[in-house]
Amino acid sequence: MTTETERDVQLLRDALGPLRDREQVAQRLLESSAKHSFDPDKELDWDSPVEEGKWFWPPELLSLYDTPLWHRMSEEQRHELARHEAASLASLGIWFEIILMQLLVRHIYDKPVTSSHVRYALTEIADECRHSMMFARLIEKGGAPAYPVPRLYHNLGRVLKTISTTPGSFAATLLGEEILDWMQRLTFPDERVQTLVRGVTRIHVVEEARHVRYAREELRRQMVTAPRWEQEFTRLSCGEAARVFSVCFVNPQVYTDVGLDRREAVAQVKASGHRREVMQSGAKRLTDFLDDIGVLRGPGRRLWKSSGLLA
């Protein structure tokens, strides 16, 4: 018969198990960071000229690709669209990374400062600082303007940073990282694309792989241990974040800046089967994972469907 002492020991083991696993994952990620981290200022040739005839983003990943409007555009205008959409995506990436850095700081505020888990979070924050500066420098190099998200969603970001639960923070992190990561994995080997853009996406893909692993492992743990109300709130907040993300993915000012009718362009993007397939393909690895750990349920799942990221 199990004694009270034995039960206490087992409870202690059950409590320590996830913490040991968390530390092991963090230690492996720290070792990987030590071997595969980059300084974009030194790794990339920022002084090289823009290459004539090369794209700033693969054409198949552009929002208007294969729409009636695309077929009416000149090749020069298509290249201009790529240059401006690349700037818009880089701007979106900076916005997400600034939010992510604040969420990570909140996450570790009460954690043991000498733990590997906290050390890796600080390492990731340093990575994200470099990435944000790298994206800003790429925008300047390309000559297109920065495209901030609309004021409404900028302020919704403030709300998210204030009320987000821990699992909600990691779910939002994955949303901001995995779809862009999928696109960048198609971009950096593409010889049609500007060499500098390929270099930026290569660095981001290598370092983001660690960030995704960290966030996935923590979110999986959190969705098991969090109280029910927190799990339900995470499902809702994650669904709303997906909806906002899909709306903000390309700033409509891009279309105006390349000489297109904004309303017509936005309408054709919404109606585009190709665009819907691209976005759902980019999100599939993430949505499969979120479904597996119980995030895509109830009203939150309906929000994901309304975002167009989930079939």
pLDDT tier for residue 3 given thresholds of 50, 70 and 90:
low
- DSSP letter assigned to residue 270: H
The reported pTM is: 0.88
Q: Name 61's Cβ contacts closer than 8 Å, sequence gap at least 6.
A: 183, 186, 187, 278
pLDDT tier for residue 160 given thresholds of 50, 70 and 90:
confident
Q: How far is Cα 221 from Cα 239, in angstroms, rounded to an integer? A: 19
Number of H helices and number of E strands within the chain?
Answer: 13, 0
Residue range 72-116, pLDDT digits in tens: 999 999 999 999 999 999 999 999 999 999 999 999 999 999 999
User: Which structural domains are found in the chain, ordered by start?
Assistant: 50-66+75-307 (1.10.620.20)
Cα-based distances in Å from 160 to 99, 110, 165, 174, 265: 9, 19, 9, 15, 30
- DSSP letter assigned to residue 73: S
Q: How far is Cα 34 from Cα 32, in angstroms, rounded to an integer? A: 5
Residue range 287-306, pLDDT digits in tens: 999 999 999 999 999 999 99
- DSSP letter assigned to residue 309: S
pLDDT tier for residue 4 given thresholds of 50, 70 and 90:
very low
Per-residue pLDDT, 179: 92
Average pLDDT score over residue span 256-267: 97
Please give the biggest Cα pair distance in the chain.
Answer: 80
Residue range 183-232, pLDDT digits in tens: 999 999 999 999 999 999 999 999 999 999 999 999 999 999 899 999 99
Cα-based distances in Å from 81 to 148, 250, 253, 256, 300: 17, 11, 11, 10, 33
Mean residue pLDDT of the chain comes to: 91
**Between 103 and 4, the higher pLDDT residue:** 103
